Chains A and B, each alone.
Chain A
Amino acid sequence: MVCLRFVLFLSYKFLSSWKKQSLIIVLVISGAVAIYLFSYSMLNGMIKATLDKSLGLAIPHVEITCLENESYIKDVNKLYSLLYESREVSSFSPRLIHHVIVRLGSRSIGVELRGVDIRREDSVSGILQYIVSGNNTLESSAILIGERLADKLGVESGDRVFIVFPNGKVLKVKVIGIFDTGILQFDESVVYADLRYVSEAMNETGKVNNIIVKVTDPRVAEKVSSFLRDEGYNARCWKEIAENLVKLLKTEEEFTGILMETILVMTSLGIMNVIILLTESKKRVIGILKSIGAMSSEILLVYLFIAVVYGFIGFIIGGIIARIIADIVGSITIELMTTSLRVSFIWDVKTILLSLGFSILASTISCAFSAYKASTLKPVEVMRFG
């Protein structure tokens, strides 16, 4: 039977003697774990942050728009009833959307004017949490605009601007509040006004051409949109609306997967090199151990145990390094395409366990070959000469 006490004793003695080699191996594993943990937690954080921010605000869970060749959503009261009755729908917001021009002095900028009931809109999109100046009492002749648009127009909350409607009507409105969602495109091209005010301005009282729906869980959005389509409405879920975003996230995930596999292979090869050299230089010791009664399986276990210890220490150090780098990176705001991002990291149990598995797997795979070779050495072949 294998003597575990001997395996642990010898592993400890070897580990405390092979300081230089151990340091190199642990550093290789730590580096790989740090990259692995950092990349994975950043990816998780970015996906979650992107979805959290985009879902509901820029991308509704479910969006109902007009059928082809129609200007408004038909049977809107029946649709409201369906949405009220659905257990999966937590709130919805009817909108009347038109493309208008906001003008101040010589500056004219085309925007999307969303006529909404701001309380309902907030319950779906959470827009009011992004108000950075002014207030949110969206009454008649008042609008909420994004910070970037305000900068372009050179206005502050309380200032007045003109809105040129598609029917030619020009109305003077007050900028009652300014929001900053961090989604650059959103902040420079979306303007909120009261639904009744827009309806009256466009002579479309009681009409809506867009409804956004918040569901209890984003995963049921597809089911809800499918149900609404079956009822004759033009509904799409967030995955269909943000098809490109979903594809991008999927591609990013796949790319990270490949990156991780590459790191795993490179790390294993690096460790394997050191271990092979170590085993070669320790052939004689292995021969001695076998000559005094150690079994091959015990020698194999010594090497594998050392590999696990290397993996575990590498995981701890790599984890600490990743955390420190993440804290530094997390404090920086990055402007990425149309979105300004502060990179957030998610240290979920799955990622941590994956990196622990990764570090132990890398060190064990690299040690296994040498360990097996070492354990099958014939003592008489390696001990003949000093």
Chain B
Amino acid sequence: MDKIVILRDVRKVYSENGLTVKTLNGVTLDVERGDFICIMGPSGSGKTTLLNIIATLDVPTSGEVWVCGKKVSEMDERKLARFRLKNIGVVFQFYNLIPELTALDNVALPLIINGETIGKSRKKALELLSKFGLRNKAKSRPNQLSGGERQRVAIARALINNPPLLLADEPTGNLDYNSKKLVYGLLRQVNREYGCTILMVSHDMLASKYAKRTIYIVDGRLSSKPSIEI
């Protein structure tokens, strides 16, 4: 199987007010295409930093990052933006929908950025929303949706360009139990039906039940065994 994400000795160090904090401490990871991985760890363990680096939203202090066969650490800001657009879908804990746009336009936006016409983008967005049970919410603004609905809209937006990689950062962090199950189920469906590789960061034990495998991160290091603190 070919590898969609390769991390080699990735380190991330933050310096602020003379203090140095090592967030990632030599992370090495291979993710196979079609995998569904849940990365678990306590708060401050470096989960989100790791995800941001794979999402190309952040750069490592050292180490190599390969995503979809490209060495992203060598790309400039413009190329990275377009690379993200075509290859990576990101789902955030706080949904991060654009409040000025309807659910339909939020989902259609990445396709419009990709050069598709507005009509075609909206048509495809509506198909996706229908699949996620949100057809009747297409014209609603984010503030008119529940948390679960917002997260499903965010997942639809992340998938509209058919990216081979979907990254989810605590996607159920703000949801109730039923909504959590719905979102996890949706991610599993996406992984199975679309063959989309999913990397999900969470500290919710329920998440690991939906993933194909779970890896743990403690003090900026990956491990196959959980820490007691999780």
> Distance in Å from the Cβ of A14 to the closest Cβ of chain B?
6
A386 to B88, CA, bound (A): 21
Seen from chain B, the residues whose Cβ lies within 8 Å of a Cβ on chain A are 48, 52, 55, 57-58, 77-78, 81-82, 84-86, 90, 92-101, 105, 109-110, 112-115, 117-118, 157-158, 161, 174
A380 to B54, CA, bound (A): 12
In the bound complex, do residue A386 and residue B77 qualify as a contact, i.e. CB atoms below 8 Å apart? no
A192 to B117, CA, bound (A): 79
Residues of chain A within 8 A of B157, CB atoms compared: 292
> Distance in Å from the Cβ of A39 to the closest Cβ of chain B?
37
Name 23 A/B residue pairs within 8 A (Cβ), A-sorted: A3-B114, A3-B115, A5-B112, A5-B115, A5-B118, A6-B112, A13-B101, A18-B100, A287-B96, A288-B96, A289-B98, A290-B57, A291-B55, A292-B157, A292-B158, A293-B85, A294-B113, A295-B81, A295-B82, A383-B92, A383-B94, A385-B94, A386-B93
The 4 closest A-B pairs by CB, nearest first: A293-B85, A386-B94, A17-B100, A295-B81
In the bound complex, do residue A380 and residue B52 qualify as a contact, i.e. CB atoms below 8 Å apart? yes
Q: Mark A290-303, 1 if CB is under 8 A from B, else 0.
A: 11111111100000
- How many interface residues does chain A have, given as a range? 20 to 34
Report A1-42 residues with CB < 8 Å from chain B CB: 3, 5-6, 9-10, 13-14, 17-18
In the bound complex, do residue B110 and residue A293 qualify as a contact, i.e. CB atoms below 8 Å apart? yes
A49 to B162, CA, bound (A): 69
A17 to B99, CA, bound (A): 9
For the residues of A in contact with B, the DSSP-based class is helix
> Distance in Å from the Cβ of B174 to the closest Cβ of chain A?
7
Task: Considering the complex, give the chain A residue whose CB is closest to the CB of B102.
Answer: A13
Residues of chain B within 8 A of A10, CB atoms compared: 109
Residues of chain B within 8 A of A293, CB atoms compared: 81-82, 84-86, 110, 113-114, 161
Task: Considering the complex, give the chain B residue whose CB is closest to the CB of A290.
Answer: B81
A169 at the interface (CB under 8 A from B): no
A290 to B99, CA, bound (A): 15
A284 to B96, CA, bound (A): 8
Q: Mark A80-103, 1 if CB is under 8 A from B, else 0.
A: 000000000000000000000000
Task: Considering the complex, give the chain A residue whose CB is closest to the CB of B141.
Answer: A17
A384 at the interface (CB under 8 A from B): yes
Q: Known contacts A5-B118, A292-B90; decide if A386 and B174 are in contact (CB<8 Å).
A: yes
